[in-house]
């Protein structure tokens, strides 16, 4: 790029002339002097979008970056929404932050803007997990809450997750109302940055204690833990907030042999031991697996920076540690919970399980076998949380999960919760060990019972303005030029969640999809393969979720069947040309 577009240059000049601090103006000027036009374009070509869950982006100066001013604008918009939504009411909010660089600073800015608008702030003085914020919102009777985090993104990122009064992310129509208020702010001078000290109250450790107590009360198999209390567990918070509560939760459940990966135990926004602080990535768990091999552990647990997602590793039949993906862990967890509830006589016919449209269908099969209601939502835990709130007092939520390593057990919070999940995954491991089995063997038995489902996620990163355009073009190509077949099997059904329509490609008939609109396409083949295409809502990526299935009549055939399914997935991805 040799020069800046007029619209971009206009925005840059507004920042250079406007009420922005000198350090910010200096950074922009230096980029201009060095003719860093691509970076300047990506920083200013649009306003960082306040989506249904808030903000996420790279840190730096500019309208399309995470900084004091985009955080302040988001908070002012949220304030304006709350004041209109609850006129004449004394409004309170809760704020927490993770271990990322500047998270504490952005949390402070957020608190200051809320306080300047006459809103009372409950403020976690030190870093805490996202799910504890959700719990605190509900416990303290807040109307909203904000978590400063970019979840598992690289160190350059930060973000702003906004929550409603139920402890879940905003849902329709409130999500749009908040977005409208944020976008209506046209001048940084509209943002009130002047802190009011008396309106900011620090949250005590009583919330930690209550949260941990409530988690422990959810335990289903305490007697198995008592017998297997010395289960060898390796835990890593990957430099994030998990260190504050996961070890404590495991201790409360009764586990006495937990080894912390010391090199990753200290919160650090530079994430020095990993490329990405993402428990989906094998590299992020390498230190944990090394430690687990050294001590011959039974289970590896690793949480992301804001401790709402967890990755696990277990030993296979050869004693080697293997990573389980999000679909495998979620299916195992729900299979365990339903089995344990059934054994305890707790299933009454009024319970339910939830997952998302891009998560393995195995979870639904397990729920059906136990006569437990099963619901599917759009991608994103906000939809699962919204359903829990909708059904509260009517049906009993046992658990929910999504393929992206996020799970929830019980109704304490309205977001995915790695603290609760770590405790229950450990309980599950103790339960199977108490029966002379293992999580790996339990997984094979599950596949033998319900069918061998295998999923793969392919993510393609497309950064910046040109990347966004490429992703849009790819979705249009798939939407209007639907492939005829995938993996050697004819596509028989197309679900277009953006149009809200399911089309039978054999008959040409269509019907309405009973879910909100979302830019997701789903191809279903004659032999039951499912491929979903979806632009990420939080990262510059387009994601392809592929699910295939076969029978596993004999556990000893697992290796052969696994190879066949892998080949099937590779063929499907080749056919998609991605």
Catalytic residues: 151
Residue carrying the six token digits 């790996």:
440
- Angle of helix 439-450 relative to helix 362-369, nearest 10 degrees, comes to 80
Alpha helices in 18-126 (DSSP H): 22-33, 37-44, 68-85, 103-116
- Tell me how far apart the 2 most distant CA atoms of the chain are, in Å: 71
d(CA 459, CA 536): 9
Q: Do the strands 321-324 and 310-315 form a parallel or antiparallel pair, or are they unpaired?
A: antiparallel
Kindly provide the b/e burial profile for residues 345-366, where b requires at least 16 CB atoms within 10 angstroms of the residue's own CB: eebeeebbbbbbbbbbbbbbbb
d(CA 340, CA 342): 5
Q: Which two tokens stand for residue 209?
A: 């204690």
**Cis amide bond preceding 102, omega within 30:** no
- Angle of helix 439-450 relative to helix 326-343, nearest 10 degrees, comes to 80
**Number of other CB atoms surrounding residue 21 within 10 Å:** 11
Residue 339's Cα: distance from chain center in Å?
26
Residue 528's region, left for phi above 0, alpha for psi from -120 to 50, else beta, is: left
Question: Which residues, other chains included, contact 371 with Cβ-Cβ below 8 Å and sequence gap of 6+?
Answer: 347, 349
Q: Which two tokens stand for residue 320?
A: 């080697």
Backbone angles phi, psi at 51, to 5 degrees: -85, -170
CA dihedral over 33, 34, 38, 43, signed as positive or negative: negative
- Angle of helix 206-217 relative to helix 130-140, nearest 10 degrees, comes to 100
Residue carrying the six token digits 């998302």:
356
Annotate 294-361 with DSSP letters as a single string.
HHT-SEEEEE-TTSS-EEEEEE-TTS-EEEE-HHHHHHHHHHHHHHHHHHTT---S-EEEEEETTS-T
| Residues paired with residue 92 on neighbouring β-strands, in sequence order | 120
CA distances, 106 to each of 93, 96, 99 (Å)? 15, 10, 12
Question: Which residues, other chains included, contact 488 with Cβ-Cβ below 8 Å and sequence gap of 6+?
Answer: 571
CA dihedral over 243, 246, 252, 253, signed as positive or negative: negative
Q: Which two tokens stand for residue 547?
A: 């699910």
């Amino acid at each position: 790029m040799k020069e800046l577009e007029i619209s971009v240059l206009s925005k840059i000049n507004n920042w250079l002339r406007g009420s922005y601090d000198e350090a910010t103006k200096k950074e922009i000027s230096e980029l201009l002097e060095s003719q860093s036009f691509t970076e300047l374009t990506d920083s200013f070509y649009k306003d960082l979008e306040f989506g249904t869950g808030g903000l996420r982006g790279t840190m730096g100066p500019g309208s399309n970056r995470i900084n004091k001013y985009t955080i302040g604008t988001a908070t002012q918009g949220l304030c304006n929404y709350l004041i209109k939504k609850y006129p004449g009411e004394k409004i309170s909010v809760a704020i927490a932050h993770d271990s990322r660089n500047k998270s504490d600073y952005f949390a402070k800015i957020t608190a200051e803007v809320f306080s300047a608008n006459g809103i009372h702030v409950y403020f976690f003085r030190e870093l805490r997990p996202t799910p504890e914020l959700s719990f605190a919102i509900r416990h303290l009777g807040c109307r909203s809450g904000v978590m400063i985090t970019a979840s598992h993104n690289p160190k350059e990122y930060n973000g702003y997750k906004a929550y409603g009064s139920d402890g879940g992310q905003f849902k329709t129509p409130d999500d749009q109302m908040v977005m409208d208020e944020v976008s209506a702010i046209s001048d940084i001078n509209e943002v009130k940055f002047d802190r009011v000290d008396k309106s900011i109250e620090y949250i005590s450790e009583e919330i930690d204690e209550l949260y941990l107590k409530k988690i422990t009360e959810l335990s289903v198999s305490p007697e198995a833990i008592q017998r297997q209390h010395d289960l060898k567990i390796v835990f890593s918070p990957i430099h994030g907030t998990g260190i504050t509560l996961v070890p404590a939760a495991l201790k409360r459940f009764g586990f006495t042999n937990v080894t912390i990966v010391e090199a990753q135990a200290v919160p650090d926004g530079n994430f020095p031991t990993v490329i990405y602080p993402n428990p989906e990535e094998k590299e992020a768990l390498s230190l944990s697996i090394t430690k687990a091999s050294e001590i011959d552990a039974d289970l590896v647990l690793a949480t992301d920076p804001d401790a709402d997602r967890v990755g696990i590793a277990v030993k296979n039949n050869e004693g080697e540690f293997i990573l389980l993906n999000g679909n495998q862990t979620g299916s195992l967890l729900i299979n365990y919970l339903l089995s344990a509830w059934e054994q305890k006589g707790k299933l009454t016919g009024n319970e339910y399980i939830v997952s998302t449209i891009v998560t393995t269908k195995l979870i639904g099969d397990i729920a059906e076998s136990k006569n437990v209601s099963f619901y599917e939502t759009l991608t994103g835990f906000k939809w699962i949380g919204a359903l829990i709130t909708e059904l509260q007092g009517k049906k009993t939520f046992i658990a929910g999960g999504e393929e992206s390593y996020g799970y929830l057990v019980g109704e304490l919070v309205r977001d995915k919760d790695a603290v609760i999940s770590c405790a229950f995954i450990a309980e599950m491991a103790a339960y199977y060990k108490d029966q002379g089995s293992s999580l790996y063997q339990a997984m094979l038995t599950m596949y033998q019972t319900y069918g061998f489902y295998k999923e793969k996620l392919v993510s393609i990163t497309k950064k910046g303005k040109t990347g966004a355009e490429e992703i849009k073009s790819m979705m249009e190509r798939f939407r209007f030029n639907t492939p005829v077949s995938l993996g050697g099997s004819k596509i028989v059904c197309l679900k277009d969640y953006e149009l809200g329509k399911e089309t039978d490609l054999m008959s040409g008939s269509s019907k309405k999809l009973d879910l909100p609109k979302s830019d997701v396409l789903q191809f279903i083949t004659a032999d039951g393969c499912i491929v979903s295409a979806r632009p990420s809502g939080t990262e510059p990526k387009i994601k392809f979720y592929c699910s295939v299935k076969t029978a596993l009549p004999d556990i000893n055939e697992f290796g052969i069947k696994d190879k066949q399914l892998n080949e099937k997935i590779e063929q499907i991805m080749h056919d998609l040309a991605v």
